[in-house]
Each structure stands twice: as C-alpha cells, then as structure tokens.
Homo-oligomer: A and B are copies of this chain.
Amino acid sequence: MTDDLLNSIDTPAVLVDLDVAQRNIQRFQDYARAHGLAVRPHIKTHKLPAIARMQLEAGACGITCQKVSEAEAMIADCPQITDVLITYNILGASKLTRLRALAQKVRLSVVADSKAVVQGLSGAFADAPAPLAVLVECDTGAHRCGVASPQAAADLAQIIADAPGLTFGGLMTYPPAGGEAGVETFMTAAKHLIEASGLAVPVITSGGTPSMMHAAEAPVTTEYRPGTYVYNDRSLVARGVCGWEDCALSVVATVVSVPAPDRAIIDAGSKALTSDLLGLTGYGHVLGRDDITIDQLSEEHGRLVSAGPIGLAVGDRVRIVPNHACVVTNMVDQILAIGQGRATPETFPVAARGCIR
C-alpha cells in the first residue's frame, strides 16, 4: 500500500486486503479438498456477504453462523448463501419464531446439547413444512458447551430423532487447539453408538483456525468450520500458523501525540482494537516495527512504547495487526476493502456487525 493511499484514510479504520483473504480462503480449501473434507466457514470473522461469496465460490458447502440474527443479516444480501448451520443452542419464543422463518429461506441446521433445547426446537418446528436438522454438540475438550460423553451424544441423537419436527443431523464440536486426537476418539465412539441404534450420522463437523491444517488427523470428521483463517491475526502469527503477510485485516491509525521520546499515542483504542489478549502481551502488532509494544488501551487511545526512540511524529500513520481479527470486525460499521484491482479503498458495510441475538 502506498503512503499516499495510507495517508488518505480517515482513521481509525479497518482495512481488509481481499487479495490476501482470497489466498487464505484458497489455501484451506485446497487442503480440505485433498483430504475429502467439506468446508463451512464461520462468518463471524468477516460478517460480510461479499466475503461469504468468495468462500462459496472457492468451494465452501455453506456457512456457519453463531446467532439467528447473524444468519438473517448474511442471507439478506447474498442469494448465493443457501445452506446455513447455526452452531448455537437456540432458546426462547422470539428466536425460535425467527429461526422458523429462516428455515423457509435456506437449508438450515442447528445444534443442541440438552433435552431442554431439543424440546424448544421441536415445539417450534412440530408443524413446520419440513423438519429441522439438529446436530448434537459434543464437548471434546474445550469445556464450553456440549454433551460430555459419546453415550450422552447417542442418547440426545435419539431424542432428536424422536422429536416431532426435527431430524438428527449429525455431530458438532468446537475443539481445543490441537485436539484432533480427542475429536477422533469421541466422535468415533459416538458414531458407532448412534449407528448401532439404527440412526445415520450424516455430518461430523469440527472447526477452529489454529489447528485447521491438522483437521485430517481426525479422519472421522466430514466437515470443518474455520473462521479466522480468512483474515488471520496476531494470535495466529504467534502460534506459527501464518506470517504477517497472510494477515488480511489491519487497523490504520494516526499518531495523535508523541509526549515522550519513547512513547506515542494513536487514535485507535479498545473501541477499535478491543481488549482481547488471547494469551498475548500487548494489544496488537505495528507492522514494520517489531520494537514497539502497544502496552495500554483506553477507549480511544492506544499507547505505543519502545525500548529505543519511538521515531514517530504527530500525523504519522501506522498499520496494526490486531490480536484477534473477529472482534475487531464487530467494532466497526464498515471496513475499507483493497485489492482485487481496486485503485482506492472501497467501503463495505459490515452487514452482520453487532448481531448478538
């Protein structure tokens, strides 16, 4: 990116290089194809119909969303999205009503990890024109949601299969990084138990960018749901998953103060970079400046410190790779897209920003 272009941007701004994103999409799609895995990207990272289209055109089988409102926002502007998995326990009359409306528009599946959630879904879909596919969420080591054992997965699969308005759609997990062995053991056992009871297990879906290039080490898996891989971020560089040149998203900021020789303040704080640390020290990486640590964020200020002279002046622009790309996307109403032949940045509204319900 030229200095002129960088200096023309009103800051802070979130910049996305679509050429880098395209390369990241293709890299995992190639891996998945070579290993017979379907790819169902999680859109939480970009929240942009335009990038979902790029993922689908590269060969994705559909998209993953986390909330009903995300799915609504994504499909509103993207007829190419015809298959949506919502990897979340959906509860409550309002969301279930919207879920049923969504099922009229796309091939829809959801997950459940308890009888209570299954009962709610069944109540909403009992008289629906077509049954809703429900996958059992399994805890393979992340200790977030999910049934705790293969037997519990098999029991819940049967409850789903018996529930009016629902069909059993398979097994889903969000594994810990490096948890392929655990996924393989759990899912193989659950699959055998479920098949022994006469039910088919059409899909076994796992996901998570950190270990995506090891997805094939759990061969029971049929589908993978990476999210961050499209942009990458400082946490993934720190894990050795990618390099800075693979980071498609950066925050452009302006130096607003240089109050000391070793300190500068930028106009991007926690409202742009967020406070997510993901186990790291500091709040992002200033591209080209390995010596700088972003050691403190207020809402609108970021503090840059260096062991030597900071070498920045008021008005200078910096580009920062954030610790966590997904949460940064959620902070802004729009991103600036570059690449794919654009001479100047193009504004993309972040269609699914702030969709927490």
Cβ-defined partner of A276 (8 Å) among B13, B66, B91, B275: B275
Query: Which residues on the B side are within 8 Å of A330 (C-beta)?
Result: 271, 299, 331
CA distance A299 to B174 in the complex (A): 13
A356 near B260 with CB under 8 A, answer no
Interface SS of chain A: loop
Say yes or no for A10: interface residue by CB 8 A criterion. Answer: yes
Q: Does A33 contact B (CB under 8 A)?
A: no
Interface 9-mer from A24-32, A112-120, A125-133, A209-217: A112-120
Give the Cβ gap from A252 to chain B, nearest Cβ, in Å: 11
Copies in the complex: 2
User: Which of B67, B146, B148, B276 contacts A270, CB < 8 Å?
Assistant: B276
Q: Smallest CB–CB gap between A234 and chain B, Å?
A: 14
Q: How far is the CA of A333 from the CA of B330 in the complex (A)?
A: 12
Q: Are A299 and B277 in contact (CB under 8 A)?
A: no
- Is A143 in contact with chain B by the CB < 8 A criterion? yes
B143/A67 in contact, CB under 8 A: no
A223 to chain B, nearest CB (A): 20
Q: Who on chain B is nearest to A277 by CB? A: B275
User: Are B44 and A299 closer than 8 Å at their CB atoms?
Assistant: yes
Known: A116-B313, A256-B88. A12 touches B357 (CB 8 A): yes
Contact B256 A315 (CB under 8 A): no
A145 contacts B356, C-beta separation under 8 Å: no
Contact of A259 with B113 in the complex, beta carbons under 8 Å: yes
Given A94-B10, A354-B333, A356-B332, does the pair A89, B299 have CB atoms closer than 8 Å?
no
A314 at the interface (CB under 8 A from B): yes
- 7 tightest A-B contacts by CB? A116-B314, A89-B256, A275-B275, A145-B257, A10-B94, A66-B300, A275-B276
Q: What are 21 A-B contacts with C-beta separation under 8 Å?
A: A10-B94, A10-B95, A10-B357, A66-B300, A91-B256, A114-B314, A117-B256, A139-B259, A144-B259, A144-B296, A146-B259, A147-B259, A270-B274, A271-B327, A271-B354, A271-B356, A274-B274, A274-B275, A275-B327, A299-B330, A331-B354
